[in-house]
Structure 1
């Protein structure tokens, strides 16, 4: 079975041209969209629906940097071990504690400026980490990338925690 990159005829790399991905997705969808199979047999409709669903899933995976990074590791046989491997560099663990403390202080003090500053810092850190993930993956270092991806997952979750305060 084709992987997501093969489905869209793209090189399996972290660095993707999003316009090229969008165009490839539209091309695949134009071939398998269920509307094209209105007059087809039930079996053909079902197959078209399966392909359309697969194209949607592949597109959603490749469109999002962290999902794309995780998928690249997966297709190269590297398990991110998100459940079992929570080890992080000591400096990052210290930084996490500082961020959590700043988050708790800002939340309890209802200091929206401090929360915004923390969110900005986390987004910048995530952007830098994703750039490093990209270099590592595109360099073929999938095991090394796995640890960086786990760091990015932490940052995304922390950003979601901050965003949840607005809800």
Structure 2
């Protein structure tokens, strides 16, 4: 079994190290890698080979989880370039972004208080559109202008957006059940 454990996720999936990737392409490479290295294919092999196939499958799954998520993929690209997004310690954001966050949180709170699922869904659609635009901006920052400092801010913004989307999902779930 020939496998290079030192490959980064992009090299493992035989994809260019860039943010803008086709999800179908990521999925296809994932399925092909698993078909080749899945532990079930090595069930009758020695303990060493079975253990290695499990390690390879684990690395393939970790790479897939990273590459399929825009936030994780952006974070990983920055990490490969030596940049830390500092999501846990650096919450500084542009004032206009923070104002939008406050408005969305207030709207979510109002919709929860009035048990207005339709309003929550509308806010969710608005956030999804904002998230998509921010992902496109991040692709430009990483793949075209290579402005890695601005890209770290964009990843942190996406993380904030993800938390808002989760809050909306939780609110809708609470109201439905």
Regarding TM over 0.5, the answer is yes
- Partners of 1:100 and 1:17 in 2: how far apart? 32
- Partners of 1:19 and 1:101 in 2: how far apart? 37
Matched, 1:123 2:128: yes
The aligned counterpart of 1:3 is 8
Matched, 1:64 2:50: no
- Partners of 1:119 and 1:69 in 2: how far apart? 22
The aligned counterpart of 2:119 is 114
- Partners of 1:98 and 1:50 in 2: how far apart? 46
Cα deviation, 1:38-75, whole Å, max 9, x if unaligned, reads: 22110110001000111011011101111111111111
Q: How do residues 3-22 of structure 1 correspond to structure 2 at under 5 angstroms?
A: 3-22=8-27
- Partners of 1:22 and 1:117 in 2: how far apart? 30
Which structure 2 residue ranges, 5 or more long, are not aligned? 1-5
Q: How do residues 67-146 of structure 1 correspond to structure 2 at under 5 angstroms?
A: 67-139=72-144, 140-146=146-152
> In angstroms, what is the RMSD of aligned CA positions?
1.2
Aligned counterpart for 2:160 among listed residues 126, 150, 154: 154
What TM-score, normalized to structure 2? Answer: 0.89
What TM-score, normalized to structure 1? Answer: 0.94
- Partners of 1:17 and 1:106 in 2: how far apart? 35
4+ aligned runs moved over 6 Å, structure 1: none
Which structure 1 residue ranges, 5 or more long, are not aligned? none
